[in-house]
Amino acid sequence: MTSERWPSLPVTEWDDTRDDDMLLDFLESTYAAGAKLLSWDRAALERRTEGAVR
């Protein structure tokens, strides 16, 4: 998928996401990259909960 607005998007096949750890790693790294790019104050935005999966 390419266009002037979205020149390149990371795309993965649905079957490749069956490994929950791999999917979670991808989502967390994508979030972290976006937060860094946009200079988000992650400490103010995120909250830790007891018993979280990770």
Whole-model pTM: value is 0.54
End-to-end CA distance of the chain: 32
> Measuring CA to CA, how many Å separate 11 from each of 8, 21, 26, 30?
9, 17, 11, 12
pLDDT reported for residue 31 = 92
Please state whether 25 falls in left (phi above 0), alpha (psi between -120 and 50) or beta. alpha
pLDDT reported for residue 14 = 64
The rounded distance, in Å, linking the Cα atoms of 21 and 27 is 10
pLDDT reported for residue 1 = 47
Whether the per-residue pLDDT at 54 is higher than 60: the answer is no
pLDDT tens-digit readout, 4-53 = 565 565 666 666 666 778 888 888 999 999 999 999 999 898 887 776 66
